[in-house]
Chains A and B, each alone.
Chain A
Amino acid sequence: MLEVKDLVVAYGAEPALDGVSLSVPDGALTAVLGANGAGKTTLLRTISGLLRPRSGTAALDGRDLTRLPAEEIVRLGVAHVPQSGGVITELTVEENLRLGGLWRWRRGDLARRIAAVYELFPPLADRRARAAAALSGGERQMLALGRALVAEPRLLLVDEPSLGLAPRVVAQIMAVLRRLCDDTGLTVLLVEQNARSALSVADRALVLSLGSVAVAGEAAALAADDRLRHAYLGF
């Protein structure tokens, strides 16, 4: 269970997150929605240790993450797929995947996990020896997700996987996230601007607006509330 409490993060004087509190229950898919600049990415970067909050906590099973460096937070089972995936284009597909599990597995185990990712995303298997730079946008997002999964995390943070992708590919990615939740009990915190596709797979959702939580609730209830949809979600 991830418990975020009164988180304040600021770049300079202007706070990007102004007292955000939320909880992410285990084994569920929680979506964070909101417009550009609402602080969604800042929230994920703070949880994974890339940003230091001015105040507040983000605790994973009672352990505060905000004082730990990113490379240690990974070791607690938190995987962060940054915006546009963040695949390392200079490395091959296989190298990207290996890098994802290097801190955790020995050679044999690592190979098995990578094989499982190839099974999940068959297009990657055909391009394993190619440089990641040669992949399409959708394939890169698959690689980024696959790379995060190699380490078998408990909590997966995904930042705008739909960005710049065709609707069909977005639907595929969303379906994979849903399936991971259902089949493996993975906890997912999904940040999305594309509220419609996020709400179609999420269990719970909350809306960030100007650095604080405006609404939170069951995904289905949010999707059904016309007033809310018009005010915050734009569909």
Chain B
Amino acid sequence: MIGTTRQAAAPARAAERARLALGRYRLVRHALGAAAALVALYALTSAVSPYRDLQIAQAAYLTCAVAGLTVLTGLGGQISLGHGAFMAVGAYTTALLLNHRSWPLAAVLAAAVVVTAAAGTAVGAVAARLHGPYLAGATLAFAVGLPGLANYEPLLDLLGGQNGLSVTPPVPPAALGETFPVERWQAWIACLGAVLTLFLLANLVRGRFGRTLRATRDDEIAAALHGVRVARVRIIATVVSAACAGLAGGLLAVATTLAAPGAFPLALSLQLIAAIIIGGLGSLAGAVWGALVLVFVPAWASDLAQSADLSHNIASNLPLALYGLVLIVVTLVFPRGIQGGLRAARTALARRRSPRDDAAHEEAAPHDTAARDTAVHGGDS
């Protein structure tokens, strides 16, 4: 008996070593990717106008929120229509701390993440019991209900009512020079936050937690039978996802120097859902695409409306109409989103080059399953 155990232990140890090596390799690869992204963003933000810098900042904080949501919905199969409300929690926490405490910005943002994660724990504990449309309903009510708190009489002084709280813009360090534009500094902060978020999430979803999470999505009962504590996994996913949205909200407050209820309408939550679908469900790279679409498609649409000299009614609604149209069209004809399309194109190219390499490419595309069969849990599936 003992002999066989020892014999079996050797390959197990080898496998463990290989797994660790792979994990370290993955960590290195992700770290290199993050560094490369930071260099590229440094070059980009330095080359463009302050107006573009602000757009980059916007895309960066939306990336945080979208990436967090794609972990919950894409990998965990739990829909949330309430992520805009988590952003509101992060933004208000940031604004309050910046206005009332002289903490360094990093500490303030960290606090925003912690507070939002706490809110996420509460929501997650409720949400883990719900599925499908019931979950959608609860999170929808959350998205619509929470911003209303700002107008509640006893909290009016603290939260600033409809006008919200204005935030003093962050001051770029003196070392960067007198003329350094504050917009670029805001873009840097937001981009750093986005890259950090993506780095952490990439390691999380490729590891054990990611596998467990996907297992609960694909077959809740089978996962439970394999000893996965489904409710706990879902709550953790909600907390992680909320924390990302909290950071996004904090960065929004820094970039727009404002936290107000008007910044967190139901439409924001719906846009975040739109972004994870358009980008490609369950893929972090897709989250970046989705965030870019959220920022640049409306900008492009309003440019278009201006140059085509459309009437005010049409011009102001064109971006919204485009969203709606893109959402429907992507879902009907292109259900794997931008990232899925890119990957398909790359695979097709590679296949043409070396027809025997298919297996390797399948290996390299673990997100594919997510795009294929992610579903809102429950219902009749």
A and B touch in the complex (CB under 8 A): no
Residues of A within 8 A of B (CB): none
Residues of B within 8 A of A (CB): none
